[in-house]
Structure 1
Amino acid sequence: MLHTHHFAYGWVTIVIAYAMSFIGSLLGLQCARRARSSDRAGGWLIAAAIAIGGTGIWVMHFVAMLGFSIDGASIRYNVPLTLASAAIAVVVVWIGLSIVFRGRRAGRGVWTLLTGGVVTGLGVAAMHYSGMFALRTDATITYSPGVVALSVVIAIVASTAALWFTLHVRGTLVSVGAAIIMGIAVTGMHYTGMVAMHAHRIDLAPAPSGADGVQLLLPLMIGVSVVTMMLLINVGLTDNEGEDLRIAPATGGAGGPTGGLR
């Protein structure tokens, strides 16, 4: 069995990967908070899905993959499958968010939260392993079923917690705390899935085809990061921290109505 490295560049990749997961999660929570009080909830849910699924999960995964190497083997990536894994991450988070938000309005919060968590968690696991399937190498890759199952359980629990946060988190400090937890959960799921993988030598194996990590992943991650920054600016420009304030009529001293805030 060939030795695999998950930190080929030291701790820099895991630190950056966690930072991207934290940023994506924090931005997604802020977008979800807007969705709870906006007439355009659908647009904010899409923005939250891009932030959490695109940056918090997918970018985190492939930043971490930049630090992955196999002794004596080359690594390349299938471009269409890599792009498909990004789409999976965004779509499954959007589905999970849509399920829990509709359930909340219909008064079925607990069951829809569990359903959304399972659907999203399975989707996150699908994103991880489709991303790994996009990896091309001149070694044979196998997985430990028990560790794979554990990574799926972690993905479901993390997704359920993340969806709960999107429904209940209010305030900047609480959002930061929730994003810290979400980042730890997503990063932990990734490295648990990576522990499940084993590489074995193949004699006279042909060189793998595809793009290498820097050629493929850096432009994609930069693109997703630019979208994230645009969302961050948009959230900042539309900040409604005082979302519980509503314009309401108030009664003046002479009995006439006057405008007031409550």
Structure 2
Amino acid sequence: MVPVSPAPVLALRAVGKRFGALRALVDVDLEVHAGEVVALVGDNGAGKSTLVKVIAGVHRVDGGTLLWDGRPVRPGGPHETRELGIATVYQDLALCDNLDVVGNLFLGREPRRRGARPVLDEVGMERAARDLLASLSVRLPNLRSPVAALSGGQRQTVAIARALLGEPRLVLLDEPTAALGVEQTAQVLDLIERLRARGLAVVLVSHDMAGVRAVADRVVVLRLGRTNGVFPATAPQEEIIAALTGATDNAVTRRAARDRGAVR
């Protein structure tokens, strides 16, 4: 595991987001460091997806501060967050079933060979795809097969690998193991560990507590749009569940987490 640096790559301070009269996020705090996996958990409606979209630049905050490498930022959209070094893999993956693995990896940013009539550099793309997947210890039977023929775990792997082409420093993963079988889930969790080993910061949104405890360094609980606890992944599961259900409030759970050294 890469040692966690003292300064977070991304920090959210008292972030809030409204949709009309609905307060989707209220004074949310979050930190994620290089070489660290932070799991974001909570019931449906807790604000997880909204928070991911705020970090990804889809939603602009109504209050609070986003800090990138310690300096305040207010991205104007997803393009600006990608330029900062934030990559997002949403639950729907946004893959094109009729394209092969190489085509999906480079979709929208295909390199071209120079000449009187520039054409796609198919050889270069395939070579780069093989190198990227090999660096992640990912083995796919045929990079020229349509992704529609891949398993759910393999499709998730392609989506995550595509996010790495821009060399991000922070990767947001929205429910990457949802609807996957046991073996496919294990493959994706193994890939998440490799992202951490590469020194990337990872925010993992998941309902799978077993998977969270397997790969996360810390667990942040959202409840009703608020931060309701920050725990090391080794904390007793009943404490995390209590924060999820509201059996314990924010002050109690943060104090318990601080005693374990989870809150910086």
Q: TM-score, normalised by structure 1?
A: 0.25
**More helix, by proportion:** 1
Q: TM-score, normalised by structure 2?
A: 0.25
**More strand, by proportion:** 2
